[in-house]
Amino acid sequence: MAINVEKISFASGEFERVIRWRNDVDKIELLNSDGSTVSLEGSGSLWHLHEEVELTLIIEGEGSRLVGDRVDRFSAPYLVLVGPNLPHYWRFKGPSSGICIQVSLARLEHALPNLPSQEVHRVTKQSSKGLIFAGKARSRIEQIVLRIATAKGIARWGALLQLIGSLDEVKRAETKEISSKPFNIDHLAPGYRSVQKSILFILNHFQERISLEQVLSIAGMSKATFSRHFLRYTGKTFTRFIIDVRIDHAGHRLLSSRDPVSKIAYESGFNNLAHFNRMFLRDHGKAPSTFRDGSSSGRAK
């Protein structure tokens, strides 16, 4: 598995790329500003990065996503802004659909030299760790994204400028940062490829027993080297990363089913209920049953 540093191509004179997928995130359509479409192979299911700012609207589907050093589950509707060179990855559980807008800041400033640069720089800074949008902000931006997907010519540019302005005006209370730290191209030092392989293995097998020896074999590293690189790229130890993925999965299962806590714990990869309860309490500040009951009460109001 090669390191995926995506090089995005733009049409002459354009600073944006608008893509859409239906069913499979790796089978995408490029939506040109003249109304035509081109089928392409996507990179959404690979841990990848690119220089462009990316806004992704998940219209249908659910699964797990990795942005920077944070893994979380998600379900549609879901709106995420990813900054330049911030690694990200989508793992859908079943069919999905969505729209993605990628903007080259350098081409934008060249095409529109009179555009207020402070707005662009603020949006870039806000996106450096990744942002999730909620509430009225998500609804407002979602409508602009849908309009961009069908707009042509100058109308698309106008909608894109409206999008930049709307992103700049979003209140902090309506967003949530994803990664604990920003990334840059220097994070592609030796070890990135091995960490990428190990993370994909964990995301695909976290419900099973995973040993450090298994992951070291996949990464092709010694324990000391792997631990150093894994912590550098994810901000977490190997053990903490696996626990966080499992706890996140369990939290979603608690909210989406009435299965016993013990069953959910074991299905999430824990083989000791007491350990699961301790880890869940540490991450959520409440016991699994209290977490479920509290959320149910909130939904009923």
Q: Which of 155, 177, 199 is the last residue of a domain?
A: 177
Q: What is the mean pLDDT of the chain?
A: 87
> 220 and 112 share a domain?
no
Instruction: Check which CATH number belongs to the domain holding 263 and give it.
Output: 1.10.10.60
State the Cα–Cα distance between residues 101 and 18, nearest whole angstrom.
5
**Region at 61 (left for phi over 0; alpha for psi -120 to 50; beta for the rest):** left
Tokens 């990628």, residue located? 102
> 216 and 286 share a domain?
yes
**Cα 288 to the chain's mean position, in Å?**
25
> 17 and 63 share a domain?
yes
> 249 and 269 share a domain?
yes
Q: How far is CA 243 from CA 57, 192, 289, in A?
A: 28, 21, 18
Q: Which of 121, 151, 177 is the last residue of a domain?
A: 177
Q: Residue 113's pLDDT band (boundaries 50, 70, 90)?
A: confident
Domain extent for 66: 4-177
Quote the Cα angle for 224-270-267, to 5°. Answer: 130
> 260 and 236 share a domain?
yes
Provide the pLDDT for residue 130.
94
HSE, CB side, 13 Å, CA atoms: give it for residue 48.
19
Q: Which has the closest alpha carbon to 240: 250, 249, 230?
A: 230
Contact 137, 175 (CB under 8 A): yes
pTM above threshold 0.75:
no
DSSP assignment string, 137-163: HHHHHHHHHHHHHH--HHHHHHHHHHH
Instruction: Check which CATH number belongs to the domain holding 157 and give it.
Output: 2.60.120.10
Q: What is the DSSP letter of 88?
A: E
Q: How many domains does the chain have?
A: 2
> 221 and 164 share a domain?
no
For the sheet containing 96-103, what is the strand order? 37-41, 27-31, 16-23, 96-103, 53-60, 78-82, 131-133, 175-177
> 173 and 289 share a domain?
no
* pLDDT tens, position by position, 65-98: 888 878 788 889 999 999 998 888 888 888 999 9
* pLDDT tens, position by position, 202-243: 888 899 999 999 999 999 999 999 998 888 777 789 999 999
